[in-house]
Every structure is written in structure tokens, then in C-alpha cells.
């Protein structure tokens, strides 16, 4: 039996520590590592050790009672949403980890939503109960936020101390002694509460199965085997979501959690059916010793070393089969459906690549959100510059949630990411490839426009030996929502054949505004008069004349500076809304509205890009890492005069 499970949830909820405890408990390692010491199997990269957060999805293969469970320990920090989503694409179910101390957070709801959109069966594991927290209050919060929550475990207390678990569905209790379960009786003061939750759970399960419901309503006895089978089906279909308890620190409930994985969560065959092999690469990673390692999920079928698969790029031969355990590769003789494969030296394999024999499979896919934070990057030295292109290619192959672009207007190389930590770890990753870069906030793409109507002449006249140059354009500029070119020439004072050249000259001149040299937008250009020379006029002469006309007139049309305005959707806990509103007002922002998604408040606002370039860091500070936001360009708006003067002065100084 195989289970392939994504461990997801908010950063700091205890996913990595839980995975480490399960690996230790099942004999996968001799000693439990610690996140704060950088010694866990999951967090093995230099970036993870330095920041003490998970940056990449790690594979933890567990062997329990003869069964195989592949845990995909995904990052919790929302900056690494690409890793989170690819882990869930590769899994058959999602286990959402929630800390008893902090409860439901934004990472909880976001992970739940992604899993729901992918159609994944889901369950919750409550961690850190030994550190405090009200389990029963959290249970009600989970119900109100996530839906059809069903407690599979309840905490067992003795003299006010948490010492074990009560198995709600199987009506038994265990006290734990150094990780070892000892069966015990349910305390008298908890029996009524346990009975209440047990009846609720049984009824919730029975209601999902018509035959059991009919038998129950007729007063018949529902057998435990039938109830267990119905429970499994209800979880598989997303009709109920069990809540378990697991303590990595006290080693309580790890065996019961693994039992629940096997009992409740679906097998690969239940999710994908049987048939010929079908796999998909869900992530790639560049290793300094093994080259590019492709991680692929085998959804269906079986594979042996030496087998070949088809792809859109041709045949792929799997000379050897490996799975991963953290940074280490473990060779396999064969792989069954559900196996997470790690294929070294896989330069021909790329993220998202589908592999199959015979009939293709429709694979799951989750769309990545657009990045929200950006920095301008430059190589530190010429040697770094020579290697930057190849290093960026590797980086973007590893992490498609990053985006790289060259801004032709500013000449900058821009790296976009999901937040400051995402960009910082990307910079560190480039250093791993041997490329050092300098990052800084990018230049703001300001614009200029006009506020009133103005008109004037531009005449280009030049006499040299032979043919001269002559063009004469009278131009009127008016404010306009976008751009419009109007040809009002009558009587043939300017031949129509020069119309395109005149417009080209206007557009060329508009690339450099009169205030600070930024492009001019939002105007109607009306050519209403002029003159030409039969011999000396030409396309070039009229293009130059139009440029002169534009430059003469635009200064009379009350030019002003514009800045890009972005729309933000900010997701925060309810108790942080006041801080968000105050901060947004200090950034010259405007609140557009407020809404609610689950337990989170959603603040819609718009603000100048100059004020939110580093908003990721600000939001993290305001919410202690519990907030998230999206960013989208909206429009250009006039810069306040005092700030405009400063921008213009800085631009003139830079170009001096």
C-alpha cells in the first residue's frame, strides 16, 4: 500500500518538525534533527539553514507496517507558493498542519484553497499541543473556516496535563510514554465529551453513505468495518475532513497519525486508476554534484530500471530509478504508482514535462499567481556578467514562480518574485551557481502628460549644396485619455504622403518629455496646417519638423509628471486591519473596499508603485508574517507637485 501526501500549512506550524518526527519514528533516521540547528532532513540547502525556513519541497519516504508513505514537505512561507502548489500537484491528498498555539492562519486557508481547487482529499493535523492552546476552540474555528471537519482524535488529559490521545472513531485511548503508546481507559470527566464527538462523527460518516444511512434510520447496527469503509470513501470524495493530533516534541500520536493516513487517505489507484505508466515532472533542482535532478510523480503503472517513457520531446530512458530522502538519493529496483522519483543528470527533463507509456493521463495543474515584488539586478564583476545568463536559466527552470525581464526604458534587468525572502533566496541561489549579483529597488517608470490645449509650429529648413531640407508643421496638442493622431490638413498644404512621417516624428518626440525626459502619454495630436517645398520636402524633413513642433508645443501645454498606480488586495487577520489601513494611508494609498474570505479580511486599495516597491517587508512586519497580497498595474496618476519636483531634480542630476 502506498500513500503520497503533501504536508502543507502556514509557516511555523510545525510541518518540517512533524515530518522529521515521522521519519525518526518509522526508523528512517537514528536521531531527530532540529530546524533551529539546521539538522533536519527536509531543510538541507544553505538557504534553508541560513533562514531557518523551508524554501523547497523535500521528499521524505516512510516505511510503516510494510506500507510506503511519501511525504512531500512543502514550504509554509507564502513567498514559495510555486513549491507549495507543485507539491500538491504531485500528491494524492493534502495534510494541512495547524499549530495549536496560533490556530488558523493565512497559510492554512491558502493551502486549503489550492488543495480544494486540485480536488485533493484533505485532513488536518494539529501540532504543538504540548506548548498550549485550546484544542476544542480550535476545532470549532476549523469547522467555521474549512467546512465539514470531523475530529478523529481528541486529547487525553490527566490532572490537567496532556498525556495522550483518544481515538474517536475506534473508541479507545492511549497514554504515551516516551513515544510508546499504552492503552488506557477514558477518564470519567471526559467520557461525556468523547461520546458527544463520537456520535457526531459517526452520524457525519453515515450520512455520506445511502445504504448505511437507511440501516441506521431503521435502527440497525452499523458495523465498524462498514463504518471504516464509509469513512475512507467520505474522505476520498471530500465529504468530510478528519482532524488528527500529532506532537513532534512529545512524540504523541505519531503511530495513530500514520494509521489514519492508511485508513482515510486514498491510494494512487483510487485517484488515477490502473494502466500503463504515466508520470509528470513536478520540480527540478540543480545539484553541484549530480547536475540537474528531476523530481517526477508516478501517477499510474509500474516502472523498472531501464524502462523507457514517451514525452513530447521524444523517448526518455530511465537507466536507473531513484527516490529522494532529503538531499540523498535512494536507488530503487522498481517503482509503483505513487512513487516520487528523483532522476539525476536529467538535463532533458523540465518542470511540467509529461512522461507516459501507451495512453496519456490528464495530469493535475495549479496556476501560479503573478509575482508581487521586484528588484533590479546587476552582476558584481565581468566574470559574473558572463555567467549570469546561464545561471538565470537554471534559476528560472528550478523556480517558475520567479520572473525575469529586461526593461527597455530603464535598461535594468528586473527579477520578480513572491516577496522579499523569495528574492533574497534567489540571489543566494545564484551565488550557489557561482554568480554574485547586486540588487536594488528598480527605477520607477514615470510618465509625463499635458493638462491643457496648446498649439504652435515646427519648421525644419536646411539648405546645403544640391537639394535642401524643408518641412513645416503646425500642431495642436490636447489632453486625451489615451493617444490619438488627427490629420486636419486641407487644401493640400502638406501632401498626404507625408502624414505617416509626421506622426512618426510626433511619436519619436513623445518618447522624451520636457520635464524629466520620461515618455509623454495621454494626448491628442492634431496637425492642422503647414507648408512644403516641391523639391526640398521629404519624409525625413517632415519627421524632423513634427518633432520640433511637438517639443515647442508640449512645453506650453502645462506638462506634469505621472506615476504608476497599482491595485493591491491585502489578506490579513481581522485584528490587523487597522494597522493596514493606517499604513496604506501613509503611502498615499486609497482604500477601495473591504471584504472577507474565511477568517481573513481582504483590503482592496490602490497606491503608487514608488510607495509599495518594498511592501512585502512592510506587510510581514505589520502582521508578523501572517499577511499576503497581490499586486496589479491599474493606471497612471499625477504626482503631487512637491514630490514631482524632487523626482525631476533627481532625474536631472542623474543625467548631468
Does the pLDDT of residue 441 top 70, yes or no?
yes
Does the pLDDT of residue 107 top 90, yes or no?
no
Q: Which pLDDT score, from 0 to 100, does residue 37 have? A: 83
Give mean pLDDT, residues 476-482: 97
Give mean pLDDT, residues 606-612: 96
Give mean pLDDT, residues 120-131: 95
Bridge partner residues of 414 (DSSP): 376, 405
Q: Is residue 554 within 8 Å of residue 520, measured between CB atoms?
A: yes
Q: How confident is the model over 236-292, as pLDDT tens digits?
A: 999 999 999 999 988 999 999 999 999 999 999 999 999 999 999 999 998 877 788
Q: How confident is the model over 347-395, as pLDDT tens digits?
A: 889 999 999 999 888 888 878 888 999 999 999 999 999 999 999 999 9
> Percent of the chain at pLDDT above 90?
76
Q: Cell numbers of 422, please?
A: 523569495
Does the pLDDT of residue 467 top 80, yes or no?
no
Q: Which pLDDT score, from 0 to 100, does residue 465 have? A: 64
Bridge partner residues of 302 (DSSP): none
Cβ neighbours of residue 612 under 8 Å, at least 6 residues apart? 566, 568, 587, 589, 631
Rounded to an integer, what distance in angstroms lies between the CA atom of residue 255 and that of residue 170?
Answer: 14
Rounded to an integer, what distance in angstroms lies between the CA atom of residue 609 and that of residue 632?
Answer: 10
Q: What is the chain's percent helix, strand, coil content, to nearest 5?
A: 35, 35, 35
Q: Give 2's pLDDT tier (boundaries 50, 70, 90).
A: very high
Q: DSSP secondary-structure letter at 207?
A: T
Rounded to an integer, what distance in angstroms lies between the CA atom of residue 536 and that of residue 466?
Answer: 9
Cβ atoms within 10 Å of 197's Cβ, excluding its own:
19
> DSSP characters for 308-362?
EEEETTEEEE-SSEEEEETTEEEEESEE-TT-EEEESS-TT--TT-EEESSS---
Q: Which pLDDT score, from 0 to 100, does residue 120 have? A: 96
Rounded to an integer, what distance in angstroms lies between the CA atom of residue 512 and that of residue 503?
Answer: 15
Strands 403-406 and 314-317: unpaired
Cβ neighbours of residue 27 under 8 Å, at least 6 residues apart? 63
Give mean pLDDT, residues 284-302: 90
Q: Which pLDDT score, from 0 to 100, does residue 27 have? A: 94
On average, the pLDDT of the chain sits at: 93
User: Who wins on pLDDT, 96 or 179?
Assistant: 96
Q: How confident is the model over 136-164, as pLDDT tens digits?
A: 999 999 998 898 999 999 999 988 889 99
Q: Give 466's pLDDT tier (boundaries 50, 70, 90).
A: low
Q: Is residue 310 within 8 Å of residue 279, measured between CB atoms?
A: no
The closest alpha carbon to 129, from 245, 47, 10, belongs to: 245
Q: From residue 444, give the alpha-carbon distance in Å to each of 416, 473, 523, 553, 609.
A: 15, 34, 21, 26, 7
Does the pLDDT of residue 655 top 80, yes or no?
no
Q: How confident is the model over 27-84, as pLDDT tens digits?
A: 999 999 888 888 899 988 888 888 888 889 999 999 999 999 999 999 998 889 899 9
Rounded to an integer, what distance in angstroms lies between the CA atom of residue 304 and that of residue 277?
Answer: 11
Cβ atoms within 10 Å of 644's Cβ, excluding its own:
19
Rounded to an integer, what distance in angstroms lies between the CA atom of residue 446 and that of residue 608?
Answer: 11
User: Who wins on pLDDT, 235 or 289?
Assistant: 235
Give mean pLDDT, residues 9-35: 92
Q: Is residue 59 within 8 Å of residue 4, measured between CB atoms?
A: no
Q: How confident is the model over 205-217, as pLDDT tens digits?
A: 999 988 888 888 8
Cα torsion 100, 104, 106, 108: sign: positive
Does the pLDDT of residue 656 top 80, yes or no?
no
Does the pLDDT of residue 464 top 80, yes or no?
no
Domains in the chain: ranges and CATH: 2-266 (3.40.50.300), 274-356 (2.40.30.10), 373-440 (3.30.70.870), 452-557 (3.30.230.10), 563-653 (3.30.70.240)
Q: Which pLDDT score, from 0 to 100, does residue 623 have? A: 87
Q: How confident is the model over 548-599, as pLDDT tens digits?
A: 999 999 999 999 999 999 999 999 888 899 999 999 999 999 999 999 887 7
Q: Is residue 287 within 8 Å of residue 344, measured between CB atoms?
A: yes
Rounded to an integer, what distance in angstroms lies between the CA atom of residue 311 and that of residue 314?
Answer: 5
Q: Which pLDDT score, from 0 to 100, does residue 214 have? A: 85
Amino acid at each position: 500500500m502506498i500513500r503520497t501526501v503533501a504536508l502543507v500549512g502556514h509557516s511555523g506550524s510545525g510541518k518540517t518538525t512533524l515530518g522529521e518526527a515521522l521519519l525518526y519514528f518509522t526508523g528512517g533516521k537514528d536521531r531527530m534533527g532540529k530546524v533551529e540547528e539546521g539538522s533536519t532532513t527536509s531543510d538541507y540547502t544553505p538557504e534553508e539553514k541560513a533562514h531557518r525556513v523551508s524554501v523547497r519541497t523535500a521528499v521524505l519516504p516512510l516505511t510503516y507496517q510494510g506500507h510506503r508513505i511519501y511525504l512531500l514537505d512543502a514550504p509554509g512561507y507564502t513567498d514559495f507558493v510555486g513549491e507549495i502548489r507543485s507539491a500538491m500537484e504531485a500528491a494524492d491528498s493534502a495534510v494541512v498542519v495547524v499549530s495549536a498555539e496560533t490556530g488558523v492562519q493565512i497559510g492554512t486557508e491558502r493551502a486549503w484553497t489550492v488543495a480544494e481547487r486540485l480536488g485533493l482529499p484533505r485532513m488536518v493535523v494539529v501540532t504543538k499541543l504540548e506548548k498550549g492552546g485550546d484544542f476544542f476552540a480550535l476545532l470549532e474555528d476549523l469547522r467555521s473556516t474549512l467546512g465539514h471537519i470531523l475530529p478523529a482524535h481528541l486529547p487525553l488529559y490527566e490532572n490537567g496535563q496532556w498525556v495522550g490521545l483518544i481515538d474517536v472513531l475506534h473508541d479507545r485511548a492511549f497514554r504515551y510514554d516516551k513515544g510508546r503508546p499504552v492503552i488506557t481507559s477514558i477518564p470519567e470527566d471526559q467520557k461525556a465529551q468523547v461520546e458527544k464527538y463520537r456520535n457526531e462523527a459517526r452520524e457525519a460518516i453515515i450520512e455520506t453513505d445511502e445504504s448505511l444511512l437507511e440501516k441506521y434510520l431503521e435502527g440497525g447496527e452499523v458495523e465498524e468495518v462498514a463504518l471504516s469503509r464509509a469513512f475512507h470513501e467520505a474522505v476520498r470524495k471530500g465529504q468530510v475532513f478528519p482532524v488528527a493530533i500529532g506532537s513532534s516534541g512529545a512524540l504523541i500520536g505519531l503511530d495513530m497519525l500514520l494509521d489514519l493516513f492508511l485508513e482515510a487517505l486514498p491510494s494512487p489507484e483510487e485517484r488515477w486508476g490502473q494502466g500503463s505508466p504515466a508520470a509528470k515532472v513536478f520540480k527540478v533542482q540543480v545539484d553541484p554534484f549530480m547536475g540537474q535532478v528531476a523530481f517526477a510523480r508516478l501517477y499510474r503503472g509500474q516502472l523498472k530500471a531501464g524502462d523507457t517513457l514517451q514525452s513530447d520531446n521524444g523517448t526518455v530512458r530511465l537507466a536507473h530509478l531513484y527516490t529522494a530522502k532529503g538531499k540523498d538519493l535512494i536507488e530503487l529496483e522498481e517503482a509503483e504508482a505513487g512513487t516520487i522519483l528523483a532522476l539525476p543528470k536529467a538535463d532533458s527533463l523540465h518542470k511540467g514535462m509529461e512522461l507516459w507509456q501507451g495512453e496519456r493521463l490528464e495530469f493535475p495543474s495549479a496556476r501560479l499567481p503573478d509575482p508581487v515584488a521586484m528588484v533590479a539586478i546587476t552582476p558584481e564583476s565581468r566574470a559574473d556578467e558572463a555567467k549570469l545568463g546561464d545561471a538565470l536559466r537554471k534559476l528560472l527552470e528550478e523556480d517558475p514562480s520567479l520572473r525575469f525581464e529586461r526593461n527597455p526604458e530603464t535598461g535594468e534587468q528586473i527579477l520578480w518574485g513572491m516577496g522579499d525572502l523569495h528574492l533574497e533566496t534567489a540571489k543566494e541561489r545564484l551565488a550557489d551557481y557561482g554568480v554574485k549579483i547586486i540588487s536594488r529597488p528598480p527605477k520607477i517608470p514615470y510618465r509625463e502628460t499635458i493638462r491643457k490645449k496648446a498649439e504652435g509650429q515646427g519648421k525644419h529648413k536646411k539648405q546645403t549644396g544640391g537639394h535642401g531640407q524643408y518641412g513645416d508643421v503646425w500642431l495642436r496638442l490636447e489632453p486625451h485619455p489615451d493617444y490619438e493622431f488627427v490629420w486636419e490638413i486641407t487644401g493640400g498644404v502638406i501632401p498626404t504622403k507625408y502624414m505617416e512621417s509626421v506622426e512618426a516624428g510626433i511619436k519619436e518626440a513623445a518618447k522624451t518629455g520636457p520635464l524629466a525626459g520620461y515618455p509623454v502619454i495621454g494626448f491628442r495630436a492634431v496637425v492642422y496646417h503647414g507648408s512644403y517645398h516641391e523639391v526640398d520636402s521629404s519624409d525625413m524633413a517632415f519627421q524632423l519638423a513634427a518633432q520640433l513642433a511637438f517639443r515647442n508645443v508640449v512645453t506650453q501645454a502645462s506638462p506634469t509628471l505621472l506615476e504608476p498606480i497599482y491595485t493591491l488586495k491585502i489578506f490579513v487577520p481581522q485584528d490587523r486591519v487597522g494597522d493596514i489601513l493606517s499604513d496604506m494611508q501613509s503611502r498615499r494609498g486609497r482604500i477601495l473596499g473591504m471584504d472577507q474570505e474565511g477568517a481573513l479580511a481582504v483590503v482592496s486599495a490602490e497606491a503608487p508603485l514608488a510607495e509599495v516597491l518594498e511592501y512585502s517587508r512592510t506587510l510581514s512586519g505589520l502582521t508578523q508574517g501572517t499577511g499576503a497580497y497581490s499586486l496589479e498595474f491599474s493606471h497612471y496618476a499625477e504626482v503631487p507637485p512637491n514630490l514631482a519636483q524632487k523626482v525631476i531634480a533627481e532625474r536631472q542630476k542623474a543625467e548631468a
